[in-house]
Chain A
């Protein structure tokens, strides 16, 4: 499935929750481009879309675990979050789920 999210509703370095196809996805506009990952921190289910984004890392707001937006790796956690390809096309971010 391919989804388009209008850029107008997004802000640089502020995550947004996206609910689509039965999935919760956290979408970010980083300086390196758009990034999309599963929205829940594997540690305790924290809402990653609400975290602070620096570079291509987001910090979970509940217990401050860092998540790498490029690889899905989570600090101190064997589990990864899933990453989805995202790119800017025209006035939207296009996601492939």
Chain B
């Protein structure tokens, strides 16, 4: 961000380079970054080139970031700048002009098209398909009715073929192997793809080797090894790419097929890293964008000082749209000995679905035409879960036979091990929303979590309730028009892709921009889903969350320090009084939650006010754990039956700092007289003889609602544990801005109870573990922030010019 830090040189300005820069910007590191790109323009969306060729998108839409973005983030961008040599010892890059010195260097040099040694490959009219210039050249030569040959039937070659077809050309694809896209697809899927492409008018020649490209000065025909000759006025060569390792190899770095890197993307030379298509990790060179973006994320975290960030390849499946045909493939699609195949094939319908299983776990998948079960398959593949109902996973059986369980009465017991009825399961599915899966049902009800024999019935009930297809849910609303996925499906994608900032979520799963509704919502979800191990993006937060105070109608702020359980001391009160006088606050008010509110503080005074108070934030400005209101209890009250102040202080200490879907107000009262009014709190605890009663979902605001009794426990420790589990469940399952008193009636108190108090040992342990992790990652913003970005609190400075 500023000019004082260490120097980082990034060689290469492609998609992965930009991804790295975006993440560095989000992490607000102090690196002084220079980006050297050899193309004459800033990085663009290379994947979008095929759309430009097909006339679906303008070339002007391709740039990923404009020059102003680089400048505003303090990145120096040099385009049209070729790096001639890398000197790892002296940490220097040689260019045509002055050398660039660095403390660390990232090689993001990408890959180069592989040009096979075919005679005539240098003729005019023989092109690659890699850059904007290649596409411009193709468009300049393409003409309706003209004949084109694409050499190479991989992803890129087929995209080029589709584009030229859209330009009205007659296109033949010549492919050396006996099936298209052999790296991703098995014979069956490739066959269906070929049929679909031929139906569109593409001609496909397999097992065909090019002997020569011929012509006089410019290309006229392609001669095949078998003797056939294809007339051609345009030839596009897409037989693959090779990692661009020249710079690294000349500098003596360890280079295999790519530049060899470790889990932290470090090369064999100290201070030099490599990411993207030029790198080789654990023997693998990656070409698809998802794993490469993960590399960029890991490297950014490393550069920001996180030594634990590590790139670990996941078995992920990728959705590809090849020449207009939907494909979804991942893992190994060609079975090895001992694997089992499950296959559905509809030749006339252009549909092909194949699963490859090893010991009942999914290890490979290929779908063509109908990607219906895609989300569930991606999930099963990434987790390597055991697959019980293979047909359901293929999306088969839904229309042909009534789903299992359809004929059962509501009171019938479905899961004998845990005594769960059909009605309870249907309630749980409804509570979960459209993203419900069998695992969700198991978590909520324990059904199917023991012997598993009822799993097919649970799957059937999921289908009856219209759930079980996270990609296309019935009923669950999308998070926002800007991020068109329901919350449950979005959570899955966010965790799978490792997205830790709002910007990344919008970039990869949304419209890239977002709005003032979804960006705060996403900010909350990321915090909750990653248990605080996300990256805050202040620009996506309401001003209250940026400056950790509550904006008032006149633009000043209110400050409410945390006073746990409402228990304070003369010294603390004196300090508060001193602060109020010193900073001339407009008003001092005791709040309804038994706290002290200092109103009318100027934004630029906030850091000084916090420092003078020396108290933690009360979070009164945000959707978070607010206050635990208390009465004095047995310590002083002649009626008290429990030590309510002590429990209130412990409860507030346990929960403070946690963000919640909406504000969370709590109370602990020492006897059923209920002086702390806990039966109208989001979570309230009442001391009774022999223990404590826990209530949830009370309200005394826009609506008034008496809380529901959740459970009765014997000890204060149990009361704390049940509170933590209930709060964590609410944090994970409620929509953003859904108060506890809306959430609990929506899911039903019985379902809430069976997912918390009565949940299985594992489910409870999971909730507690995520709760503790979130709590451990919670920082008091009044201590953390002023040092972070003081500029946020001050008006901008300007000088006249």
Contact = CB atoms under 8 A, between A and B. Distances in A.
Contacts of A4: 798-801
A5 B539 contact: no
A19 interface: yes
Task: Give the most central of B66, B538, B792, B801: most A CB within 10 Å.
Answer: B801
B39 to A, nearest CB: 21
A87 B783 CA distance: 36
Contacts of A66: 516
A52 B520 contact: yes
A59 to B, nearest CB: 4
A54 B730 CA distance: 29
Contact of A51 (B2, B66, B543): B543
A85 interface: no
A94 B799 CA distance: 10
B515 A10 contact: no
Given A52-B519, A52-B542, A88-B71, A10 B801 contact: no
A54 B797 contact: no
Contacts of B1: 8
B493 interface: no
A3 B795 contact: no
Given A11-B539, A59-B516, A29 B798 contact: no
A72 to B, nearest CB: 18
Contacts of A55: 513
What does DSSP make chain A's interface, helix, strand, loop or mixed? Answer: strand
B800 A1 contact: yes
Contact of B798 (A8, A53, A54, A95): A95
Nearest to B546: A14
B583 interface: no
Interface in A38-97: 44-47, 50-55, 59, 61-62, 64, 66, 88, 91, 94-95
B655 interface: no
Contacts of A3: 798-801
B456 interface: no
Assign chain A's interface to a size class. 35 or more
A44 B2 CA distance: 36
A2 B519 contact: no
Nearest to A62: B553
B127 to A, nearest CB: 33
A44 B553 contact: yes
Contacts of A22: none
Interface string B502-517: 0000000000011110
B514 A54 contact: yes
B551 interface: yes
B539 A9 contact: no
B73 A12 contact: yes
A7 B69 CA distance: 11
A82 B66 CA distance: 26
Nearest to A59: B516
A18 B798 contact: yes
Contact of B71 (A7, A9, A54): A7
Nearest to B2: A8
Interface in B1-50: 1-3, 25
Contacts of A61: 542-544, 551
Contacts of A11: 538-539, 789, 791-792
A92 to B, nearest CB: 8
A61 B543 CA distance: 7
B555 A47 contact: yes
A6 B72 CA distance: 10
B74 A8 contact: yes
Contacts of B513: 31, 54-55
A53 B72 CA distance: 16
A18 B694 CA distance: 51
A14 B516 contact: no
A50 B800 contact: no
Interface in B780-801: 789, 791-792, 795-801
Contacts of A34: 68, 72
A9 B519 contact: no
Contacts of A33: 66, 68
Contacts of A27: 796
B798 A7 contact: no
Interface string B534-566: 000011111110100001011100000000000
Task: Give the most central of B2, B541, B795: most A CB within 10 Å.
Answer: B795
A10 B800 contact: no
B795 A18 contact: yes
9 contacts: A4-B799, A5-B796, A8-B3, A14-B792, A29-B72, A50-B546, A52-B541, A52-B542, A88-B68
Interface of A: 1-14, 16-20, 27, 29, 31, 33-34, 44-47, 50-55, 59, 61-62, 64, 66, 88, 91, 94-95
